Structure 1
Amino acid sequence: MIYAFGNYELEPQRYELRCLDVVCDLEPQVLELLGYLVQHCDRVVTKQELFEHLWPTQFVSDATLHQRLTAARKAVGDNGREQHTIKTIRGRGYRFIASVETRAAASAETAAMARPSRPPNRLPRLVVEREHELTDLHHRFALAQGGQRQTVLISGEAGIGKTALVEAFAARLEGEAKPWTGYGQCIAQYGAGEAYRPVLEALGRLCRSPDGAPFLSLLRQHAPSWIAQMPTLLPVDERAQFAQALHSVTQTRLLRELTEALDILTTERPLVLVLEDLHWSDESTLEWLAYVARRRDPACLFVLGTHRPIEHLIPDHPLRTMVQELCLHGHGVEMKLDYLSEAGITAYLAHRLATSTPPIELARALHQRTSGNPLFLVAVVDDMTRQDRPASAVNRIDPLTMDIPESLRQFIAQQLDQLPALDQHLLEAASVAGATFCAEAVAAGMAQPTDSVESQCDTLARRGHFLRANGVEEWPDGSLTARYTFIHTLYQEVLIDRIPPSRLIRLHRHIGIRKESGYGQQARDIAAELAVHFRYSRDIERAVQYLRDAAQNALQRSAHQEAILHLRTGLELLPTLPDSPLWRQHELAMRTALGPALIATQGYTTPEVEHVYTRARELCESMGETTAYFPVLWGLWIFYNNRGSFDTARELADHLLRLAQQDDALLLQAYHALGNTLFWCGEFHAAQEVMDQAIALYDAEQHREQAFRYGGHDPAVCCFGHGAVGLWARGYPDQALQYSQHAVDLAQSLSHPSSLVHALGLAARVHVLRSEPDQVLACAERTIAIATEHGFIQPLATAKLRQGWVWVGRGRAAEGIDQIRQGVNRARSIGAANVLPVYLARLSEAYAQVGQVDEALTAIDDALATIRSCGVREYEAELYRLKGGYLLQLGQEAEAGRYLHRALHTAQHQHAKSWELRAATSLSRLWQSQGKREAARDLLAPVYDWFTEGFDTDDLQHARALLETLL
């Protein structure tokens, strides 16, 4: 059935909306919405009806529906204000109000006969007007041969010739230096893709190449964690052994291991690593690329990437940030490709038409109509020569009669329509299988013999029709099948948009089932891909399972962002399944995996962390689940502890202790939790006893996984780090330094970035307390580098705060205070009440240093209000002492004395001798000014005499200098 209204015709069966016989480019779901409204134009359609009939098994938000409705209105010349076609009935729904006529659609055979029968276009490799770029690439390759690693990122619009330039460069190298050359392709994903996918693809191709045996041997020796991710390269009896290399592997280790391996590999032979379409890359690949580009060690390595212009990417796209950073600091260069000039088109025509003097009018018309886009140009010239006319005949074509489509997408659609129906169906199935696909998967989608599909693909590839051959692929079940790649990803995009929903579902289902069968017990290796197939085939049960597996794969590689995307998608899908113990178990597992990933990337106190663990606790209690109960309670503890809800945190820590009595690994974490809570409550002696019990239970090898499962950092690192701050407070500044260094050394040995930034942050606190700004700055700068690389938001803000504190003392007051304020605001925004008083103290000290005493007092009062509201007592004595000092500067001597007394009594109550020494020193100095020299000496001397270490620290030296004036 065809529905006609105004200048438009809608044919739902073909998923086509036409305006004056021109097909409109619309997403399938927008066409579904428009079709449903047109077919029910006699009544109001409610929002709920649209959800239930159009997307019954998908989660579609109101915002998404609004976007699709806006797109439908725009397609038919309507808008939200005037509403001549689609009217919003407030409070009820929507109605299609334009006049609609219906008529029967032509049969498929009739429609096929009506279409022009033209052969599809061919895409030869264009290198005209690229000599400058080729020369530059060869120059940089020569530098790489000399040991100066090179990273070149080629950017340009789709179809501009990025891949053609890369292939022309590589072809010239084949006759010269004969380097190792590996190709990896990023592909568009519906969700988070497999971490390091293009890098793994490039390494796998190199290892399988005819001369790849030495490359494989070197990788086996120097990069076992990467070989473990490509098990098909290994004999069956060795796969389990190498799989151990992935056990608790960290992202830092993966980055360093491969980079160092490539440094060694390139001592024998240069390596060119090509990574295409980086705008679709997973974040882990971009992190590796940035890491290897910034490395300064010599290597004969040339990394060549292609991507679409960063100007067209969203502002927070990770590729945009990476390219800007690399180019800014001279770690890489961006080579921007422009469209062809009229002269370039003339040169292309001369080559293509085998004539030295192509018509100037033809070149000018082509330039005007294609804007010099190479993909347009090649397609148009192919179309002109489709009947194998001699060059002289082509030269006489009137340029004004050339039929150029309005957009490349529409033009590609026309090219596809010219193919036989069988080829169209094959390419549509292939587009579902991926930008790079194998014949076995497409055969499964089409329910056709594999050899028949291979033959059909070979024919298309030989003619350059949409596909090119891309080697062979072997699956774990022994299937050996040819692999192909779309010549341009736009072909895949257009094809997949043409497929009716019912067929799209079928294709995803058949391809997913066949790949699942082909990989068998190794199906988890391609979990992200299978999750996409089963999600879009509406096999939600399988999709959820593979999303969970894909998240685990990502977490094993410390690819937290990819893991979060997989887990969030899985959790969104679960409510569409009938409630059952199995799916509640899946939800629980995904939430317990999501919690640590969120903590590592967003911090301990974001609302999503609380929501994830609260729901997980409800599931545990409703299911009687005990195995997951401990990590779930731990997640809640870490949230409330860092939010400053210490009564709740203490209850949870006690509960953890009760659960852990029969298990040393759990007991370690329970002591970790309780000791940490006691520390923030100012119970330093009790906290030290508990944390020492945790340290006594700790074994680095046995408990290496704890950092991944609980809260994002290693328990012993945390206990040593917080123990160091506690030791300082109790009056042992030298032992505090030793504990602090031990925490940093342990974190480094674990190669766990989150633990290292945690240790460095606590080390910086110790150096602040010991008045050692050089060391504070060193810790802060090191933390900033690591946190920036791995996306650790809260540690980054804290490190910049401490950096600012040092800057203020070195004359950079405005910059420093601004950095401290930003750290305070970040802590306040995420509700990190446990650290807020300390941060506000740093801010008050900065204000006081520049003479802004009123602002300093305001910051201290804010800090004191925080400790009254949440009960964090760790810094309480110092806050009272600082306020007393500021009041004294304002001449309020009596009030200042009361706060100094309060600081002294608080420190004595906490048995915190370092805080007591500071308070006693300040109060004694006040009494000295009041003529109470003997009382001042009697107060300070016994506190000073208690100390047995740390006599080179500022606090003890100041106290001694004051005592000498009181004799």
Structure 2
Amino acid sequence: MRTLAALTRVVEASATNAPVLVLVEDAHWIDPTTAEWLEALVERLSDLPVLLVVTARPEFEPRWRALSCVDTLQLGRLEPCDGTAIMERVAGGKKLPRDIADRILANTEGVPLFVEELTKTVLDSDLLVEAGDRYLAIGPLPAIAIPSTLQDSLMARLDRLSPAKETAQIAACIGRVFRHRLLAAVSGAGRGRLDDALSQLEQAELLFRSGAAPEATYTFKHALVCDTAYQSLLRSRRQQIHAKIASALEAEFADVAETEPETVAQHYTIAGLVAEAASWWLKAGQRAMTKSANREAAAHFGKGLELVVTLPASEARLRQELSLWTAMGSALISARGWGDPEVLHSFSKARELAERLGDKTQLFAAVRGESACRTISGHLRAANALANQCLTLGMELAHASGDSGYMLEAHHQLWGVNFYLGNYKTSGVHASQGMAIYDYEKHRHLAWGYTGHDPGVCCRSFSAQMLCICGKPDKGVQQSREAVALAERDSHPVSLAQAQMALSVVHLMRREPHDGRLWAEKAIAVCTEFAMPLLLGQARVFFGWALGGLGQLDEGIRQMRDGIAAIAATGADMGMAYYLCALARACGERGEASEGLALLEQAFDTLIKSGSSYQLPELLSAKGELLSRLDQGDDAIEGSFRQSLAAAREQGAR
């Protein structure tokens, strides 16, 4: 994602100097992350001098296709004159007999690749002879077998190249692009025999080569050539070859296995080696997470889970399943948001398996994740109970292993859940413990595990907000800036967006809407680039809040409403009362105090349902302000403000 985000910035920067052409070929094969990037690119380039050309098969139906700035050009079939031109080019400028040329045009139906391949099939048949500027047929037309489909034509050409056909089949199992060294390791053919076969395939223009053997890389001319060679293998033979490829990658090509574990996983999957495949899908997902490709990571973990449940019941199977469920939960947090039901399901399954196995390390991760999910979805009492269980497990594991990360993550969950319960003093104690334990070099890896963000950044962000709530706004700004600086060291997307939003909130608490808007905009940019729906919704609420403070009430209210709707769509409820309070105040500023009071009722209901007193003083104060706008009577107004002061004293807020 960082590479794609950088590419977007390069395109935008280049377009400020001159018109830019961007070409994306074969978009029907792109991965989910690249598809999201392409959609974002289309939307961002609508006002720039950029021509984006995307080629794809008809089944590619992106959402952005309906945008007004997008035109779709459906490529038609070749006219007969164009097909004839291709035939003559393949034939070296010579004409084919008219009846054979007509038969080729009829069979190929204007498909360029088919015209080219069928012409080569006819030329390779040895039933034509050169005669000056043309070819002549040796016998009558019925004696010349002209395949009726492209696949038949390609297969006929491969059949004539035996034994090079077997080399093409093995290569097709590797993929459309393959390395000479890997093919040699899998085929078992001697160097001379292999090179002869590859040379034949090159001369037949079925393969293209880059570089010199044994470091050469080969590419099948077209995906259909690769598919035809692959489909000509029996299923049992395919499985044997895929098993050899996976084994060779693992044993002899560590560079590929390390950087492309999904390739090894796919070969083991097709080979039917389920346990090995599941293990490599786990590795593939873990690597994708380190690159913030969380949707791909979740897909990899999902493939592993689909496989592992087909294994016979055993402790080894349960351990594989446990690792995959825990990892799935972490990936889905960033891809869909903490409140998504699938995230909770993943961690709940992991907790169940860890308890069955008596695996306290995995149980810690599962309980940590489930507590976070229940916090975000507003089930704070259950979340708090799990967080305290996490602390007990963390102390035991830290003592046994000497790894302080367990205690750091236990405190991490406790400062979060207590903050949203309104227990600011308790939350502050745990945040202080987190800052004391955190060591960048030792603990930075935690950003890619557990709940998917850096605990060092998080404890400073929460501490900053608590300092503001408790009447120390200057220290709050300082703490929040430290969080941003720490997040920028690794540019971990979730951690960075959280730190930027926390700084935005701190400025908004200080009634500094200009700075609040600046940091909310930065967070929106990160959340958009890395497709983080929950955090994007939160950032839009803060952005709208800042706009309202700058006098842009209409747009500010629209942004807040859209942000709140986006948050709710992820299943999250954490902080919702505060967001509704900010929206209620903005409505009051616009002269819609009754609407504001209705929103506050929703906010109070949210607190009651979750058992929280988070920002209760703010809600009561906002109620007093709105009642005063409606002139509802001094007793009611004064009562709200008195309740606000009492709640603030109880929480230690100012």
Range class of TM-score, shorter chain: 0.7 to 0.9
1:724 and 1:736 in contact (8 A); partners too: yes
Residue 489 in 1 paired to residue 255 in 2?
no
Shift of residue 577 of structure 1? Answer: 0.9
Does the alignment pair 1:290 with 2:8? Answer: yes
Residue in structure 1 matched with residue 178 of structure 2 by the alignment: 437
Larger deviation, residues 565-574 vs 403-412:
403-412
Give the corresponding residue for 2:565: 825
Residue in 1 that maps onto 2:385: 651
| Counterpart residue identity of residue 390, structure 2 | L
Within the alignment, does 1:908 sit opposite 2:649 as a pair? yes
Supply the distance in 2 between the matched residues of 1:818 and 1:359 (Cα, whole angstroms): 71
| Distance in 2 between residues matched to 1:356 and 1:422, nearest whole Å | 30
**In the aligned structure 1, how far is the partner of 2:553 from the partner of 2:31?**
37
- 1:689 is displaced (CA, Å) by 2.7
Matched, 1:850 2:584: no
Does residue 699 of the first structure (1) align with residue 439 of the second (2)? yes
SS at match of 1:780: helix
1:891 and 1:537 map into 2 onto residues whose CA distance is: 76
> In structure 1, what is the equivalent of residue 246 of structure 2?
512
The letter of the residue matching 2:473 is P
1:584 is the counterpart of 2:303:
no
Q: Within 2, Cα distance between the matches of 1:687 and 1:377? A: 72
Q: Unpaired segments of 5 or more residues in structure 2?
A: 56-74
Alignment partner, residue 925 of structure 1: none
User: In the TM superposition, what is the alpha-carbon distance from 1:330 to its structure 2 partner?
Assistant: 4.0
2:116 paired with 1:378: yes
Aligned residues: 620
| Alignment map for 1:807-826 (pairs within 5 Å) | 807-808=547-548, 813-826=553-566
Give the 5 Å matches for 1:273-352. Answer: 286-287=4-5, 289-290=7-8, 292-294=10-12, 306-308=24-26, 317-318=35-36, 320-321=38-39, 324-325=42-43, 327-328=45-46, 330=48, 333-335=51-53
Matched, 1:551 2:285: yes
Q: d(CA) in 2 for partners of 1:451 and 1:358?
A: 37
Aligned to 1:725: 465
Residues in 1 aligned to 2:567 and 2:147: alpha-carbon distance in whole angstroms: 55
| Closer, same or farther: CA 372–720 of 1 in aligned 2, 3 Å | same
- Give the counterpart of 1:756 among 468, 492, 496: 496
- TM-score, scaled relative to structure 2: 0.83
Q: Which residue of 1 aligns with 2:636?
A: 895
Q: Distance in 2 between matches of 1:315 and 1:690?
A: 36
**2:195 matched to which residue of 1?**
454
Letter of the structure 1 residue corresponding to residue 609 of structure 2: S
List per-residue Cα deviations over 1:539-584 (Å, max 9, x = no partner).
1011112222222332333333332222111111111111222222
Q: C-alpha separation between the residues in 1 aligned to 2:255 and 2:117? A: 45
Q: Is the 8 A contact 1:462 1:468 kept in 2?
A: no
Assess, with a 3 A threshold, how the Cα gap between structure 1 residues 306 and 843 changes in structure 2: closer, same or farther: closer
**Secondary structure of residue in 2 paired with 1:437:** strand
Q: Is the 8 A contact 2:129 2:136 kept in 1?
A: no
CA-CA distance at 1:469 after TM superposition:
2.6
Cα 1:666/1:331, change in 2 over 3 Å: farther
- The answer to whether the Cα contact below 8 Å between 1:341 and 1:367 also exists between their aligned partners in 2 is no
Deviations 1:587-637 (A, max 9, x none): 222233333222222221211221221122222222221233322221122
Equivalent residues in 2 for 1:474-623 (5 A)?
480=214, 483-519=217-253, 523-623=257-357
What is the 5 A alignment of 1:908-927? 908-913=649-654
SS in 1 for 2:339: coil
For 2:592 and 2:473, how far apart are their aligned partners in 1? Answer: 31
Matches within 5 A, 1:915-954: none
Paired residues of 2:347 and 2:369 also in contact (CA < 8 A) = yes
**Distance of 2:493 and 2:385 partners within structure 1:** 30
What is the alpha-carbon distance in structure 2 between the residues aligned to residue 697 and residue 311 of structure 1?
A: 45
Work out the CA distance in 2 between the residues paired with 1:312 and 1:572. 23
Q: Which has the higher helix share?
A: 2
Question: In structure 1, how many angstroms separate the alpha carbons of the residues matched to 2:148 and 2:44?
Answer: 37
| Residue 878 (structure 1) aligned with residue 618 (structure 2) | yes
In structure 2, how many angstroms separate the alpha carbons of the residues matched to 1:567 and 1:394?
57
Q: Return the letter of the residue paired with 1:790.
A: F
Aligned-pair identity in percent equals 28
For the 8 Å contact 1:439–1:453, the answer to whether it is kept is: no
The DSSP-based 3-state class of the residue aligned with 2:460 is helix
Shift of 1:824: 1.5
Q: Is the 8 A contact 1:438 1:481 kept in 2?
A: yes
Q: Could you list the per-position Cα deviations for residues 839-884 of structure 1 after superposition, in whole angstroms to 9, with x for gaps in the alignment?
A: 2112212322322222222211111100011022121121122223
Q: How far, CA to CA, are the matches of 1:378 and 1:333 in structure 2?
A: 31
Query: In structure 2, do the counterparts of structure 1 residues 423 and 678 end up closer, same or farther at CA, with 3 Å as the change threshold?
Result: same
Shift in Å, 1:903: 1.8
Q: 1:845 to 1:342 in 2, by over 3 A?
A: farther
1:814–1:657 distance in 2 versus 1, CA, 3 Å: same
Whole-angstrom CA distance in 2 between matches of 1:577 and 1:505:
18
- Check 1:306–1:694 CA distance in 2 against 1; reply closer, same or farther (3 A cut): closer
- Aligned pair 1:664/2:404, yes or no? yes
2:364 paired residue number = 630
* CA deviation profile, 1:911-941 (whole Å, cap 9, x unmatched): 211xxxxxxxxxxxxxxxxxxxxxxxxxxxx
**Residue 778 (structure 1) shift:** 0.8
Q: Shift of residue 827 of structure 1? A: 2.3
Q: Is the 8 A contact 1:528 1:546 kept in 2?
A: yes
Structure 1: runs of 5 or more not aligned: 1-250, 256-285, 474-479, 914-967
Q: 642-651 or 654-663: which moved more?
A: 654-663
Does structure 2 conserve the Cα–Cα contact (< 8 Å) formed by 1:809 and 1:849?
Answer: no
The CA distance in 2 between the partners of 1:336 and 1:869, in whole Å, is 49
Q: Is this contact kept in 2: 1:323–1:334, CA < 8 A? A: no
Structure label with greater radius of gyration: 1
Quick check: 2:147–2:153 contact (8 Å CA) kept in 1?
Answer: yes
Evaluate the alpha carbon distance shift between residue 571 and residue 857 of structure 1 in structure 2; reply closer, same or farther with a 3 A threshold: same
Q: Partners in 2 of 1:404 and 1:845 — Cα distance?
A: 78
The answer to whether the Cα contact below 8 Å between 2:108 and 2:114 also exists between their aligned partners in 1 is: yes
Alpha-carbon distance in structure 1 between the residues aligned to 2:29 and 2:194:
40
Q: 1:441 to 1:885 in 2, by over 3 A?
A: same
For 2:335 and 2:273, locate their aligned partners in 1 and report how far apart those are by CA, in whole Å.
Answer: 31
1:769 maps to what in 2? 509
Counterpart residue type for residue 868 of structure 1: I
Provide the rounded CA distance (Å) in 1 between the counterparts of 2:145 and 2:529.
Answer: 50
Distance 1:296 1:670, change over 3 A: farther
CA distance in 2, matches of 1:315, 1:516: 26
Whole-Å Cα distance in 2 between the matches of residues 407 and 321 of structure 1?
36
Partner of 2:72: none
Amino acid at match of 1:499: L
- Of the three residues 479, 502, 527, the one matched with 1:739 is 479
Q: Which amino acid aligns with 2:382?
A: T
Give how far 1:444 is off.
6.5
What's the secondary structure of 1:675's corresponding residue? helix
Measure how far apart 1:323 and its partner are.
5.4
